[in-house]
Amino acid sequence: MTQSAGNIFRFDGKTSVITGGGSGIGRAIALKFAAQGGKIHILDLSAKDAEATCQQITAAGGTARGHCCDVTDQKQVIAKFEEIAKEGPISILVNNAGISHVGTVESTSEEDFDRVFRVNVKGFYNCVRACIAHMKNKGGVVLNMASIAGSSGLRDRFAYSVSKGAILAMTYSVARDYLRYKIRCNCISPARVHTPFVDGFLKKTYPGHEQEMYDKLSQAQPIGRMGEPEEVASLALFLCSDEAGFITGVDYLLDGGFTNLRD
């Protein structure tokens, strides 16, 4: 039966767990999913940020709950997923919590390298591992936030690029291993997206020249601007919806032409 336009991309009756949903891309995804009828659980290191997102959702008539959680702590992650699963099946996991790092292999300390991997790789692993058992009976969707840094050579992004390359491999592996359980796994690889993190980075690194550097970074995308969190959220909405039921094991570029259209 053909769905009417008003019924597509609906998440009614679906529970989504979104890591790093307290700000930026994660918050945009949480708001988008909730607007389509989904029940939202946010895992964030900042309880305050998680609650702020939840308040936006509930003010708009949606359902959301925030959880203070360090995704690098496996025991803590497992406990949170077990707590959430008691309320009903988990349909969607969006692995979004991550950190960045600037530096070459020589300027990246062992401490910084380990920190990036704990959050960006082990954190994703912990959440997939904790969630997958709850999806095996009914199927589900795992969406990982990767980056063009994982497949393109970016200057001064050694540790970050290596971590995001690992997410590509993780995505393909999970997609392959859980086909028979009707669990889909994909990832999104954005170029630069205008988030509070970007504004904070510019203020800290280029005081007094924030606008100049913002414009320079924006022009790095052939389309001439940075992406917006809502644009990433729209692609996430599609990939996690029933309308994308034939899509798994795919890395989706969302890069304003950065990968294929650069001079």
* pLDDT tens for the chain, residues 1 to 263: 445 556 899 999 999 999 999 999 999 999 999 999 999 999 999 999 999 999 999 999 999 999 999 999 999 999 999 999 999 999 999 999 999 999 999 999 999 999 999 999 999 999 999 999 999 989 999 999 999 999 998 999 999 999 999 999 999 999 999 999 999 999 999 999 999 989 998 999 899 999 999 999 999 999 999 999 999 999 999 999 999 999 999 999 999 999 999 87
Return the closest-CA partner of residue 43 out of 67, 15, 71, 78.
Answer: 67
Q: What is the pLDDT of residue 137?
A: 85
Is 160 in the active site? yes
* 67 vs 88: CA distance, rounded Å: 16
Q: How far is CA 22 from CA 37, 54, 71, 239, 240, in A?
A: 19, 8, 14, 21, 19
Cα atoms in the 13 Å half-sphere on the side-chain side of 56: 19
Q: Which of 160, 172, 214, 252 is catalytic?
A: 160
Q: What is the pLDDT of residue 36?
A: 98
pTM, full prediction? 0.96
Q: What is the pLDDT of residue 4?
A: 56
* 109 vs 209: CA distance, rounded Å: 28
To which H or E segment does residue 63 belong? strand 63-68
* 65 vs 238: CA distance, rounded Å: 23
Q: What is the pLDDT of residue 1?
A: 40
Sheet holding 251-254, edge to edge: 63-68, 39-44, 15-19, 92-95, 140-145, 183-190, 251-254
Rounded to the nearest 5 percent, the helix, strand and coil shares of the chain are: 50, 15, 35
* 22 vs 103: CA distance, rounded Å: 26
**Is-contact 119 127, C-beta < 8 A?**
no
Q: What is the pLDDT of residue 201?
A: 87
Which phi and psi angles does 4 have, rounded to 5°? -75, 160
